[in-house]
Structure 1
Amino acid sequence: MELELTGAELKSVLNRLRRAQGQISGVIRMLEEGRDCEEVVTQLAAAARALDRAGFAIIATGLRQCMTGDGGGTAGDREEARTRLEKLFLSLA
């Protein structure tokens, strides 16, 4: 199944991933500087949330395309893709 993100969806996902990338860089820097454990964990949790939200956005788009038939293929193909996406969604939960 090929996923097609619209301009707005793509921009949103990329922004979330860039935010997570910056937060992870910040965590690395904080560890190298010997910063407070609570500050490090707070930034790490923020990065994890940003990654989770990007993943949810991608999966939601895939499910929507699968359910509306925008992803192409036969009904069986769409059902198989939906099942795979559901498993991915649950792996993020």
Structure 2
Amino acid sequence: MFTKVDGPVRLADRVAAMLADEIESGRLTTGDKLPTEVELVKQLGVSRTVIREAVSRLSNAGLVEARQGRGVFVLPRRTRPLDLDADTTDSTDTK
């Protein structure tokens, strides 16, 4: 019925990538608090929903932790979880 819509990367993906880059580069370090949702909305010109989705992705990746009533904080660097979107395959193929 519908065809796939090709287009740019979703805003939440772009915001998550930008924030992840800030963390990976060391500009945001362990224990740093991310700007508030309202501040990010103003700075980036996106909706609160986009910010929430981006922070959720960072949380799922183990980069940040949301603390109710306190904010979102950068977690210590640890072994990265398995990236299922990576273009790598297991070389131990059993045929």
| TM-score, normalisation: structure 2 | 0.29
- Find the structure with the greater CA-based Rg: 1
More strand by share: 2
